[in-house]
Amino acid sequence: MTISFDTAHGVFHLQTKHMSYVIQLVKSAYPAHVYWGRPIRNGQLGSILQFQERCSFSPNPIPEDRSISFDTLPQEYPAYGTSDFREPAYQASQMDGSTITELVYDKHRIYQGKPKLDGLPAVYVEDDAEAETLELELIDRSIGLRTVLIYTIFEHHAAITRSVRFVNEGSEELKLLRALSMSVDFLHSDFDLLHLSGTWAKERHMERRVLAPGKITVESRRGSSSHQHNPFVALLAKDANEDHGDVYGFSLVYSGNFAAHAEVEPYGSTRVSMGINPFDFSWLLEPGEQFQTPEAVMVYASRGLGEMSRTYHKLYRTRLCRGQFRDRTRPVLVNNWEATYFQFNADKIESIARAGRELGIELFVLDDGWFGKRDSDNSSLGDWFVDKAKLPGGLEDLVSRVNELGLQFGLWFEPEMISPDSDLYRRHPDWCLHVPGRRRTEGRQQLILDFSRTDVCEAITGMIRNILRSAPITYVKWDMNRNMTEIGSASLPPQRQRETAHRYMLGLYSVLETLTSEFPDILFESCSGGGGRFDPGMLHYMPQTWTSDNSDAVSRLKIQYGTSIVYPISTMGAHVSAVPNHQVHRMTSLEMRGNVAMSGNFGYELDLTKFSDEENDQVKQQIALYKQIRPLVQFGDMYRLLSPFEGNETAWIIVSEDKSEAMVAYFRVLADPNPPLKWLKLKGIDPNLDYEVTGLAGNYPGNHLMYAGLHVSGLHGDFQSKIWLLKSNSSAI
């Protein structure tokens, strides 16, 4: 791992054992993107970038060298207005109303380690030796805008992080209209674009499309990263698949409005850019003030999509997630939501917990309805005090009763929301996001608190803190159940109103930083109607996310498979729910529901007291099995074998770091009459080790399981699944 600067040719070379990333200063002033891919040695890096004069419609900003046009130069951080007509990375408005800027190289700094980002989540290092950082400083001297491009490479990960810091060193205020986190120009367009799209209960479905002249934008304007589009895109070589070919991933560590662009221009190059969505965004920079963009994490893989995913998995699991639960196995839980919804009392909760104890459950989670006068979703959000009609002994009594059964206790909150029918709203009607004179559009009969306001953040933090101190609570499910409308703040002046959405995210991150720091022994899980805010920003504070409100086993195959493109299994909440499923009304076996949910942080979301004796025995076996394989599942390496987006079958394997153990999960949705014989070829195990396979006699060489395969048999009917455990009983040959 090293970052070097060739002064003779103006070339920066960011190099690791995994890859090279090369930047060249054109005319000693303009940073251009030269190369990103497999490692290459120094020597001729200055010869890669070629120049050619184009027609007059690509103007020439340097009269003495007409081979240079910003419209064709592969720039590292492009502007609009001085001959580049493609998607700009930034735009700043000046006091005279103009938006023309031109950044040129001023200086740079190379140092060990990785900087923290002010008020924002980011990947981190625990030792400065793990990373090296380049800060490339550009300046527009006519207005005093200093722009610092921050690049970090890692010793153990094929990743680069990028972010940008803007500093107003001038004498007049500036307004940022666009401030993306990164931009990369590829010299060709022979790529497909992969992104993860969907909707509520159908999150992160894989979409792969061919790049063509023009622009593809993946974005959210909903106030959060959203169910509809995840803040991730990837460029895939035409021949790239799960195991082969070049893949370039782009993931934004941010939970609010974002945009990712892939633009193919007439000469065949491709510009990829990503950051805060410029739509309805601006940021006023007074003289002396600065603005920090969120961080983009860029991953290169030469061996396909699977390699890219495993790079993100390890980086995010070990250097994005934080706290004691980062490396600790997560408890098996039961959540009462689909068992009772709002209709429960302390005795009912205790009965579910008691049934859970007999089955091996470790944690009971009390969901919505325990506070205020919350008998439906039309009231009480913001009134974070216990409903004594349901829980006459308070939380202290209920938690004590659950703890006496040997279970930990968890609690659901929706701290960012406020109900119009609440004491808090009646006291502070201006505390919600709103625009004076406009209606306050409700979603799920609730409004959104204005987390851009310090007083609101402090008040909510205080309420949550009091509840968490009132009883031995060890788990919090942090929910958020609507998109933003009427985005405005009563505390901001007119010229700063378009800062509201980003200031909201900064406020939320501040609250999360405070609470997770004060309560390090509590496992926090993020939720937004399921997976509506499944993003790296939230994972920095909460190491797992409720993957989807849809826990139907068949639906979850695509949801969990798509989620695994970027996010590790240790971040996915996955539960067994009742049938008919409450979202799609499908009937699937308890076995398949369990096998799907075991590929995540395992739990149940149903009324355990309604199980038959046979179901109780089956659930006991599921929980016992999961506890046995839990370290492997949550911290192993995942290899995808069969895609639910390509056929009737889904399969994946999770392998321990030392290759000595593995879990193989296979799922078939619909039965096929008179089917052919089926072998499943494994990945990730050691071809030179011998493995015992559950249910099979004898030892199987790893290369046999990888190249001949594992025979799939004994499945009858629709919605079938099977799990095999592999354990090595020999040393590598």
For residue range 65-102, what is the model confidence (pLDDT) as tens digits?
Answer: 888 888 889 999 999 989 899 999 999 999 999 999 99
Task: Say yes or no: 564 and 516 in one domain.
Answer: yes
Task: Say yes or no: 563 and 501 in one domain.
Answer: yes
SS3 469: helix
Residue 410 has pLDDT above 70, yes or no: yes
Q: Is 55 annotated among the ligand-binding residues?
A: no
Q: Answer yes or no: is 79 within a domain.
A: yes
Instruction: Dump pLDDT digits (tens) for 614-673.
Output: 999 999 999 999 999 999 999 999 999 999 999 999 999 999 999 999 999 999 999 999
Instruction: Quote the pLDDT of residue 198.
Output: 97
Specify whether 375 is catalytic.
no
Q: Answer yes or no: is 44 within a domain.
A: no
For residues 108 and 135, is the Cβ–Cβ distance under 8 A? yes
What distance in Å separates the CA atoms of residue 255 and residue 681, rounded to the nearest whole number? 38
Token pair of 368 as six digits: 């919505």
Residue 185 has pLDDT above 50, yes or no: yes
Instruction: Dump pLDDT digits (tens) for 186-222.
Output: 999 999 999 999 999 999 999 999 999 999 999 999 9
CATH number of the structural domain spanning residue 336: 3.20.20.70
Q: Answer yes or no: is 25 within a domain.
A: no
Instruction: Quote the pLDDT of residue 730.
Output: 66
Instruction: Dump pLDDT digits (tens) for 107-166.
Output: 999 999 999 999 999 999 999 999 999 999 999 999 999 999 999 999 999 999 999 999
Q: Answer yes or no: is 52 within a domain.
A: no
For residues 218 and 195, is the Cβ–Cβ distance under 8 A? yes
Instruction: Quote the pLDDT of residue 415.
Output: 98
Measured in whole angstroms, the distance separating CA 385 from the mean position of its chain's CA atoms is 32
CATH number of the structural domain spanning residue 226: 2.70.98.60
Specify whether 479 is catalytic.
yes
Catalytic residue among 185, 387, 479, 535: 479
Domain boundary among 632, 651, 675: 632
Catalytic residue among 549, 552, 637, 686: 549
Instruction: Dump pLDDT digits (tens) for 234-248.
Output: 999 999 999 999 999
User: Please, which residues have CB within 8 angstroms of residue 358's CB and are 6 or more apart in sequence?
Assistant: 616, 620
What distance in Å separates the CA atoms of residue 607 and residue 493, rounded to the nearest whole number? 51
Instruction: Dump pLDDT digits (tens) for 488-514.
Output: 999 999 999 999 999 999 999 999 999
DSSP 488: -
Domain boundary among 287, 319, 351: 319
Task: Say yes or no: 593 and 659 in one domain.
Answer: no
What distance in Å separates the CA atoms of residue 29 and residue 19, rounded to the nearest whole number? 25
A 10 A CB-CB count for 392 gives: 12
Q: Is 450 annotated among the ligand-binding residues?
A: no
Instruction: Quote the pLDDT of residue 731.
Output: 52
Closest CA to 463 of 381, 542, 374, 404: 381
Token pair of 59 as six digits: 């103007």
Residue 253 has pLDDT above 80, yes or no: yes
What distance in Å separates the CA atoms of residue 363 and residue 544, rounded to the nearest whole number? 15
For residues 293 and 224, is the Cβ–Cβ distance under 8 A? no
Q: Answer yes or no: is 35 within a domain.
A: no
Average pLDDT over residues 379-383: 98
Task: Say yes or no: 337 and 313 in one domain.
Answer: no
Residue 516 has pLDDT above 90, yes or no: yes
Instruction: Quote the pLDDT of residue 615.
Output: 97
Q: Is 246 annotated among the ligand-binding residues?
A: no
Domain that includes residue 715, residue range: 642-728
Q: How far, in Å, are 192, 552, 615, 695 from residue 719 at the CA level?
A: 32, 11, 18, 21
Q: Is 478 annotated among the ligand-binding residues?
A: yes
CATH number of the structural domain spanning residue 649: 2.60.40.1180
Task: Say yes or no: 206 and 233 in one domain.
Answer: yes
Average pLDDT over residues 719-733: 84
Task: Say yes or no: 406 and 527 in one domain.
Answer: yes
Residue 732 has pLDDT above 50, yes or no: no
Instruction: Dump pLDDT digits (tens) for 447-489.
Output: 999 999 999 999 999 999 999 999 999 999 999 999 999 999 9
Q: How many residues does the chain have?
A: 733
Q: How far, in Å, are 396, 598, 669 from residue 587 at the CA level?
A: 38, 19, 12
For residues 537 and 253, is the Cβ–Cβ distance under 8 A? yes
Closest CA to 537 of 353, 708, 297: 297
Residue 60 pLDDT grade (very low, low, confident, very high; cuts 50, 70, 90): confident
Q: Is 444 annotated among the ligand-binding residues?
A: yes
Residue 733 has pLDDT above 50, yes or no: no
A 10 A CB-CB count for 612 gives: 8
Task: Say yes or no: 576 and 504 in one domain.
Answer: yes
DSSP 203-264: EEEEEEEE--SEEEEEEE-SSSS-SSEEEEEEEEETT--SSSB-EEEEEEE-SS-EEEEEEE
Task: Say yes or no: 340 and 479 in one domain.
Answer: yes
Q: Answer yes or no: is 56 within a domain.
A: no
Task: Say yes or no: 475 and 596 in one domain.
Answer: yes
User: Please, which residues have CB within 8 angstroms of residue 608's CB and are 6 or more apart in sequence?
Assistant: 334, 339, 352, 355, 356, 359, 361, 619
Instruction: Quote the pLDDT of residue 62.
Output: 84
**Does the predicted TM-score (pTM) go above 0.95?**
yes
Residue 727 pLDDT grade (very low, low, confident, very high; cuts 50, 70, 90): very high
DSSP 446: B
User: Please, which residues have CB within 8 angstroms of residue 548's CB and are 6 or more apart in sequence?
Assistant: 201, 202, 203, 530, 531, 555, 556, 559
Q: Is 479 annotated among the ligand-binding residues?
A: yes
Task: Say yes or no: 242 and 310 in one domain.
Answer: yes
Residue 48 has pLDDT above 70, yes or no: yes
Domain boundary among 282, 303, 319: 319
Domain count, the chain: 3
Task: Say yes or no: 689 and 624 in one domain.
Answer: no
What are the percentages of helix, strand and coil residues in the chain, rounded to 5? 20, 35, 45
Q: Is 367 annotated among the ligand-binding residues?
A: yes
Q: Answer yes or no: is 724 within a domain.
A: yes
Residue located via tokens 């799907």: 596
SS3 144: coil
Q: Answer yes or no: is 53 within a domain.
A: no
Task: Say yes or no: 571 and 646 in one domain.
Answer: no
